[in-house]
Structure 1
Amino acid sequence: MNDTLLGLLEGNADHAARFDDRFDDVQDAQHPEAVTVCCSDSRVLQDAIFGNDDPGHLFTCGNIGNRVVQRTDAGEVVSGDVLYPLAHTGTETAVVVGHTGCGAVTATYDELTDGLSEPPGIEHCIGLLKPHLEGGVESLPADVDREGAINRLVEYNVDRQVEFLVESDDVDDDVDVVGVVYDFQDVYGGQRGEVHVVNVGGETSVETLQAEYPDIADRVHRLWEY
């Protein structure tokens, strides 16, 4: 048997032993307090970054580039996996979680600047990000290095995903939409693993957000305000 799989099963056995009674209240229904849309990256532990170990608390979605956009014959719509908890489980908070050094943002940046060759499945995902990042690439400071460009585009991508949710007719106006960036690369100068708030409901001004939300003022940071 594959050693990796054996390790996973051993880990699951420990999980089952610890979590056995934590499903009592959620076996038949779920009413998560928030839906989080994270990037599919092995370094981004979706529940752990928020200290969550309670089944039913967070509805976690993951894809490369933390996208909320899905392409259909009718055009771009809010992805069904993100929309489901907002439409059917009473969830009233959506959090878009980007992260420093994002590979999907990097690939999209390379595609927009130099061209890129990837398998069709990856090309499809990059194709969903491209139209939303073009404006960010055009707005980058002329003197920014590659790493700085990528991490600024991480914020820009979070902004565009938040904007898409806020402007969608399918998302109720009462839903709070927040954009954050998870930093494990010492980009924002805080502690590794901290989440930095960059967007609340479409507002991206650090000064405005800190004034409006003084209780989290020390967690509001941005690399750029374009």
Structure 2
Amino acid sequence: MNRTVVEMLRRNDAHADSYTTRFGDVQDGQQPEAVTVCCSDSRVLQDRMWGNDEPGHLFTVGNIGNRVVQRADGETVVSGDVLYPLANTGTRTAVVVGHTGCGAVTATYDALTDGIDVPPGIDHCLGLLGPHLEPGIEALPDGLDRAAAVNHLVEYNVDRQVAFLLGRDHVPDDADIVGAVYDFQDVYGGRRGEVHVINLNGERDPEALREAHPDVGSRIRRQWVY
């Protein structure tokens, strides 16, 4: 077996040793407190960013572009991956987490501005992001370099995913929908690995959010208020 898998199994030994007695309360069911939707990126450690090592605490979803949307019967609907805990396990918090330097946002930006050739499966995913990002590209401030444009669009994409969840059928009306960005590129001026809240139930104004939530005011930041 190749060395990568051997090393993965070795690390799993340590995991299994420490978790042997930790599944008793959730072996037959789950009631996670939140569903988190993060980008599938090796640099984005979805559970560890929240300090989570508790089975049953978070329902984690990953895909390129931290999407909450999928296509079904010709319509754009809430992804079943995201909807499952909201509709079935009593979860009432959804957190959409983008990240700086997102490759999916970069590829969608390139596809919409210059056109790119990608495999069909990736093209399908970019096609789901495209309609949400296109208005953002048109609204970008003047004078941004490519990296800055992408990181502005990371926020815009999170906003659009949050907006899609709000008020949708089967998404509980009392669910809190949070938008955030994970920063490992020193974009937000905090520590690498910090999560910054940029949207709560559609409210995007940082000042309004800080006033309403002073206990986490230092973690509410965004680059682009539009």
TM over 0.5: yes
Question: Counterpart of 1:165 in structure 2: which amino acid?
Answer: L
Q: Matched residues in 2 for 1:152 and 1:201: separation?
A: 19
Q: Matched residues in 2 for 1:172 and 1:17: separation?
A: 38
State whether structure 2 residue 97 is matched by structure 1 residue 76.
no
Structure 1 length-normalised TM? 0.99
Q: Matched residues in 2 for 1:189 and 1:207: separation?
A: 17
Shift of 1:169: 2.0
Shift of 1:32: 0.3
State whether structure 2 residue 39 is matched by structure 1 residue 33.
no
State whether structure 2 residue 182 is matched by structure 1 residue 178.
no
| Alignment check: 8 A CA contact 2:167 2:173 kept | no
State whether structure 2 residue 107 is matched by structure 1 residue 107.
yes
Identity %: 68
Structure 2 stretches lacking a partner, 5+ long: none
Structure 2 length-normalised TM? 0.99
Q: Matched residues in 2 for 1:160 and 1:116: separation?
A: 23
Give the alignment's Cα RMSD to 1 decimal.
Answer: 0.6
Matched ranges for 1:1-226 at <5 A: 1-226=1-226
Question: Counterpart of 2:117 in structure 1: which amino acid?
Answer: S
Shift of 1:167: 2.9
**Equivalent residue of 2:151, what SS?**
helix
**Equivalent residue of 1:23, what SS?**
coil
Structure 1 stretches lacking a partner, 5+ long: none
**Equivalent residue of 2:129, what SS?**
helix
Aligned length: 226
Q: Matched residues in 1 for 2:211 and 2:105: separation?
A: 30
Q: Matched residues in 2 for 1:14 and 1:193: separation?
A: 24
Shift of 1:202: 0.4
Q: Matched residues in 1 for 2:124 and 2:66: separation?
A: 14
Q: Matched residues in 2 for 1:26 and 1:169: separation?
A: 28
Give structure 1 regions of 4+ aligned residues with deviation exceeding 2 angstroms. Answer: none
**Equivalent residue of 2:107, what SS?**
helix
